[in-house]
């Protein structure tokens, strides 16, 4: 194997991939081809490469991470073992480790799939498509976990409630219906939702949350508006699904909002899937093996990920080098994003050893 972990990571971090992932995709494809593999690009832009024979009787594991980053691009800098730059830890560090493990691990009679998505930070259409297409015995999703093993994460849904009224001139407010009058009742209802209708506390993920985050509405000061909107962020825990939540919220608001109020609940991002919460059994072989090999803590992952699209199929864990935040504050998605090259090398070794044990 000619793969150079540090060199690949350097090239990857130097490539801006916050607006267009084409150059990053080319780098991954070129790297795999140089090692004798023939990756494919599916209709959603995922890179998929396979080792082993499809349909064999051995264990099938999937390594998944993403090549896109959040804006703005931050330039590559190296200071000894530390690399700084956009994507250094989220998720080009995990990507480099997974490529190394995919290329080097001995997989016996098993099948190993590398599946890299192009839009985890935005639409997650690639991850949702892989979830529909793949079937495996286990999934490892690359994100910055500090080499901890994360078999669970809360789901994430961005939504809104639009309240409808009837516009009128402000000099004669009673000639219309002012939807702003219902905002107070709506905010109170949203903040009380989990107490009355929530799924309760999950043993690993804790409590769900429902937070109003934005209010929009109104126009000229002399006009009663015809509608206003309160947007919210929902973090779910099992067994609640996002579909369950939306149906429950609508029924709840029917009881909590004034009878004369017309309203609509909708998705803030209707063209994108929303990841449900997931929780893999802690005693599963994948969780225990990776934790033993890495020496990492078994804990929930702090953010929503594409892991949820795989968890209904087989045991799924989130794992990788780097951290989302440290004692000084945010790391991933921040202008101080960094990772240590030794952590990437450790992750690559941990992944390879785990694959060889399980396969």
The pair of three-digit structure tokens given for residue 251, joined into one six-digit string: 């029924």
- Six token digits for residue 116: 């890299």
Q: What is the dihedral of CA 71, 75, 80, 82, to 10 degrees?
A: 0
Report the share of the chain in percent with pLDDT over 90.
94
- Nearest-CA neighbor of 91 among 69, 109, 110, 72? 69
Report helix, strand or coil for 353.
helix
Average pLDDT, the chain: 96
- CA-CA distance, 26 to 270, in Å (whole number)? 30
Task: Show me where the domains of the chain are located.
Answer: 5-153+277-358, 155-267
What tens digit of pLDDT does each residue of 279-320 get? 999 999 999 999 999 999 999 999 989 999 999 999 999 999
Q: Which of 37-41, 113-117, 129-133, 217-221 has the lowest mean pLDDT?
A: 217-221
CA 83 distance to own-chain centroid: 23
Q: What is the pLDDT of residues 48-75, one digit of tens each?
A: 999 997 666 789 999 999 999 999 999 9
The answer to whether the 5-153+277-358 and 155-267 domains have the same CATH topology is no
Say what the pLDDT of residue 270 is: 93
Contacts of 349 (CB under 8 A, 6+ apart): none
CA angle 283, 285, 286 (to 5 degrees): 105
pLDDT tens digit string along 223-239?
999 999 999 999 999 99
Pairing relation of β-strands 60-66 and 111-117?
A: parallel
- Percent of the chain scored above 70 by pLDDT? 99
**CATH code, 155-267:** 3.30.70.360
Model's pTM, two decimal places? Answer: 0.93
Digit-coded pLDDT (tens) for 252-288: 999 999 887 899 999 999 999 999 999 999 999 999 9
pLDDT tens, position by position, 84-99: 999 999 999 999 999 9
pLDDT, position 53: 75
Q: Which CATH architecture has domain 5-153+277-358?
A: 3-Layer(aba) Sandwich (3.40)
């Amino acid at each position: 194997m000619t793969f150079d972990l540090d060199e690949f990571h350097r090239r990857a971090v130097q490539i801006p991939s916050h607006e267009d992932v084409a150059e990053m995709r080319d780098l991954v494809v070129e790297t795999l081809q140089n090692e004798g593999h023939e990756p494919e690009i599916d209709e959603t832009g995922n890179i998929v490469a396979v080792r082993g024979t499809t349909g064999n009787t051995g264990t099938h594991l999937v390594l998944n991470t993403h090549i896109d980053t959040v804006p703005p691009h931050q330039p590559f800098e190296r200071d000894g073992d530390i690399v700084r730059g956009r994507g250094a830890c989220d998720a080009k560090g995990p990507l480099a480790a997974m490529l190394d493990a995919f290329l080097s691990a001995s997989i016996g009679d098993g099948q190993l799939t590398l599946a890299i998505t192009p839009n985890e930070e935005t639409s997650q259409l690639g991850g949702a498509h892989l979830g529909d297409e793949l079937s495996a015995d286990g999934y490892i999703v690359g994100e910055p976990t500090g080499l901890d093993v994360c078999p669970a994460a809360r789901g994430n849904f961005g939504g809104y409630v639009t309240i409808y009224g009837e516009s009128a001139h402000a000099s004669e407010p009673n000639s219309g219906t002012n939807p702003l009058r219902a905002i107070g009742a709506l905010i109170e209802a949203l903040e009380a939702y989990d107490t009355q209708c929530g799924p309760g506390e999950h043993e690993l993920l804790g409590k769900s949350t429902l937070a109003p985050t934005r209010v929009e509405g109104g126009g000229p000061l002399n006009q009663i508006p015809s509608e206003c909107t309160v947007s919210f962020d929902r973090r779910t825990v099992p067994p609640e699904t996002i579909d369950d939540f939306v149906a429950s919220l609508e029924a709840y608001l029917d009881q909590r909002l004034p009878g004369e109020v017309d309203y609509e609940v909708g998705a803030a991002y209707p063209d994108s899937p929303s990841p449900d919460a997931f929780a893999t059994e802690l005693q599963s072989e994948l969780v225990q093996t990776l934790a033993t090999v890495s020496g990492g803590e078994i804990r929930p992952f702090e953010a929503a990920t594409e892991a949820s699209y795989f968890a209904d199929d087989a045991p799924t864990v989130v794992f990788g080098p780097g951290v989302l935040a440290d004692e000084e504050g945010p790391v991933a998605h921040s202008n101080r994003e960094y990772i240590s090259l030794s952590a990437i090398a450790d992750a690559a070794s941990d992944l390879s050893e785990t694959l060889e044990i399980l396969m």
